[in-house]
Amino acid sequence: MKRIEQTKKLLGNLIKKTRATTMDQEELALRSGTSTNTISRLERGKGVNTDTLLSVLNQLDLLDPILTVIEEQYELVDKNPLRKTSKQALELPNDF
Stronger pLDDT, 78 or 43, i.e. the higher one: 43
Tens digit of each residue's pLDDT (9 = 90 or more) over 5-30: 999 999 999 999 999 999 999 999 99
pLDDT greater than 90 at residue 94 = no
Domains and CATH numbers, the chain: 2-78 (1.10.260.40)
Position 89 scores a pLDDT of 67
Can you tell me the distance from the alpha carbon of 83 to that of 30, in angstroms, rounded to the nearest whole number?
Answer: 44
Q: What is the pTM of this model?
A: 0.78
Average pLDDT, the chain: 91
Tens digit of each residue's pLDDT (9 = 90 or more) over 44-64: 999 999 999 999 999 999 999
pLDDT greater than 70 at residue 86 = no
The DSSP string of 59-88 is HTT-HHHHHHHHHHHHHHHHTSPPPS-PPP
Closest CA to 59 of 39, 79, 74: 39
Helix (H) or strand (E) holding 25: helix 25-32
The answer to whether residues 62 and 18 touch, using CB atoms and an 8 Å cutoff, is: yes
Amino acid identity, position 12 = G
